[in-house]
Amino acid sequence: MSEAVKQSGGGTVEYIQHHLTNLCAGDCDPVTHQATSFWAWHLDTLFFSVALAVLIIAFSIRLGRNLSADAPGPLQNFVESILEFVAGQVKDTFPGHNPLIAPLALTIFVWVWLMNFMDLIPVDLLPLLAGFVGIHYLKAVPTTDLNTTFAMSFTVFAMIIYYNIKVKGPVGYLKMFLFHPFGKFLVPVNVVMSLIEEIAKPLSLGLRLFGNLFAGELVFLLIALIGGTMAVGWAAAFWLPLQVILDLGWLIFHLLVITLQAFIFMVLTIVYLGMAHTSDH
Amino acid sequence: MNITVSLFGQVLAFVLLIWFVNRVLWGPLSAMMAERQKRIADGLAAADKGRHELELAEKRAKEVLKDTKAQAAEILAQAEKRASEIAEEGKANARIEGERLLKAARAEIDQEANRAKEHLRGQVALLATAGAGKILRREVDARAHADLMKDLIAQI
């Protein structure tokens, strides 16, 4: 971490800011390296999320090649248990039948968990390695980028709207906005309430995941700063063990958080799509 | 932290990943699991059926055994009956044969006795003629006195 501090010119604020800056391409500010317009690509976010997606696909293909119904290996057992867990959640919370929901939920759970897991890799390791090949900005956790979380939540939102219209019909969907919470005498209030309710779904879904992971990343950075800035001379004998202990504690706690966040994202997706599939509102 | 065009890149990646997961992970694995479930259910049903058939077969075997035992007992009884019949028959045959032999023996004895009597009678006649000859001191002409002799033998 001391390298990173030196690279950013020292200073706690700069260290943290540097770590929270994406690798930007396109319309980017040359000094702060922040996106200045919509047309900017966050290359690190795209790279890590796609790399993890490719990992999932490659793993699945490899697993699918030696699938055994009679004598499943330990790996297949593990994947089967995840599959059954997700299928159980879908069965419990999703009314009716839609063959797309279970693969969608599985994708969200596995992908979000893997992207969250990037948070557990030591915060300075990947930026340090990237520094060796000339990349000086790297934010390794895709879910600490709003683009990733909103990409998923808005995709889910699009599906919510699609299935609402498909199941309830355009008129039924409109009726839900007009008459939903308070009946037909408070139509303006109903419209406002329903709109807020619907828009809150993707926003809360995306912001919850982003907030949790962003905060987690920040805490990791702060813990890393203990050893990075305060461990000078003999003081290191005190600060370095403290950093290790705090880091380990937060790591273990965060392992819980990343799993929980992936689970919440998955379950809420199932619940929202389940609500879209019921026509009695 | 800004919303940029990366959002659409991520949407594309997400949608593609859903498609891939459905294609290579969820699809094959859940199909395999469903098939395994079906096979287990089939196997259990087959085991149940097998147990049922075993019960039936045991019952049938018992019935067959019972029938066979009954048949064997019947055959045994018949054989005993037949044996005693044969024994009775043998006894009867033996009695008849014995009686027949006895009768034959008696007849032979009678015959022998008669023959002995005849012989004795002849001898007595000879003795009588010889005695008469001695008394008359002369030869009795057998031919001349054949009638007399015959009469005499008949009298003895």
Q: What is the pLDDT of residues A18-40, one digit of tens each?
A: 888 888 877 777 777 777 777 88
Using CA atoms, how far apart are residues B79 and B126, in angstroms rounded to an integer? 69
Name the residue with higher pLDDT: B154 or B123.
B123
Query: What is the model's pLDDT at position B68?
Result: 96
pLDDT of the residue at A6: 44
Q: Which helix (H) or strand (E) holds A39?
A: strand A35-42
Helix (H/G/I), strand (E/B), else coil: B92:
helix
Which residue in A21, A42, A114 has the most chain B C-beta atoms within 10 A of its own C-beta, making it the best mutation to test that interface?
A42
> For the ranges A227-236, A241-250, B115-124, which has the lowest average pLDDT?
A227-236
Quote the domain boundaries for residue B144: 41-155
What integer is the mean pLDDT of A236-251?
Answer: 85
Count how many pairs of residues, chain A against chain B, have C-beta atoms within 8 Å: 125
The alpha carbon of residue A230 is apart from the nearest alpha carbon of chain B, in Å, by 29
The count of domains in chain B is 1
Is B46 among the domain residues?
yes
Alpha-helical segments (H) within chain A: 2-7, 12-19, 43-65, 74-93, 101-117, 125-132, 146-179, 187-225, 236-277
Widest distance between CA atoms in chain A: 74
Q: What is the mean pLDDT of residues A152-157?
A: 93
Q: Is A11 left (phi over 0), alpha (psi -120 to 50) or beta?
A: left
Is A212 known to be catalytic? yes
In whole angstroms, give the CA distance from residue B45 to residue B55: 15
* Cα B99 → chain centroid: 34
- Provide the domain limits for residue A129: 2-277
Q: Which member of A102, A107, A154 has the closest CB to residue B17?
A: A107
Chain CA centroid to CA B148, Å: 77
| 3-class secondary-structure state, position A10 | coil
pLDDT the model gives residue B101: 94
Chain A: residue whose CA lies nearest to B32:
A69
Distance, CA of A149 to CA of A142 (rounded, Å): 8
Of B14, B25, B36, the CB nearest to A155: B14
B99-118: average pLDDT: 93
Nearest chain A residue to B8, by CA? A151
The share of chain B scoring above pLDDT 90, in percent, equals: 58
Does B113 map to a domain?
yes
- At residue A3, the pLDDT reads 45
The minimal CB distance from B36 to the residues A63, A69, A146 is found for: A69
Q: Is residue B68 situated within a structural domain?
A: yes
- How many Å apart are CA A103 and CA A150, to the nearest integer? 19
Length of chain A: 281
Residues B35, A222: Cα–Cα separation, whole Å:
51
A100 φ, ψ (degrees, to nearest 5): -85, -25
Is A204 one of the annotated active-site residues of the chain? Answer: yes
Tell if the CB–CB gap between B6 and A46 is shorter than 8 Å.
yes
Cβ contact B14–A107 (<8 Å): yes
Percent over 90 (pLDDT), chain A: 37
Chain B residue with Cα closest to A159 = B15
In a domain, B142, yes or no: yes
Contact B30 A60 (CB under 8 A): no
Distance CA B8, CA A42 (A): 11
- pLDDT at residue B93 above 80? yes
Those residues with Cβ within 8 angstroms of residue A231's Cβ, 6 or more apart along the chain or in another chain: A239, A240, A243
| Option in B11, B24, B33 nearest A80 (CB) | B33
Q: What is the pLDDT of residue A194?
A: 87
Mean pLDDT, residues A166-176 taken together: 85
> Which chain B residue is nearest to residue A145, measuring alpha carbons?
B1
- Residue reference for tokens 């619940």: A271
> Which residues are CB-neighbours of A122 under 8 A, at least 6 positions away?
A224
Number of domains composing chain A: 1
Among all chains, which residue has been given the structure tokens 């859940």? Answer: B30
Whether A278 contacts A113, CB under 8 Å: no
Which residue of the set A2, A77, A204, A279 is catalytic? A204
- Show residues of chain B in contact with A151, CB under 8 Å: 7-11, 13-14
Q: Is A28 helix (H, G, I), strand (E, B) or coil?
A: strand
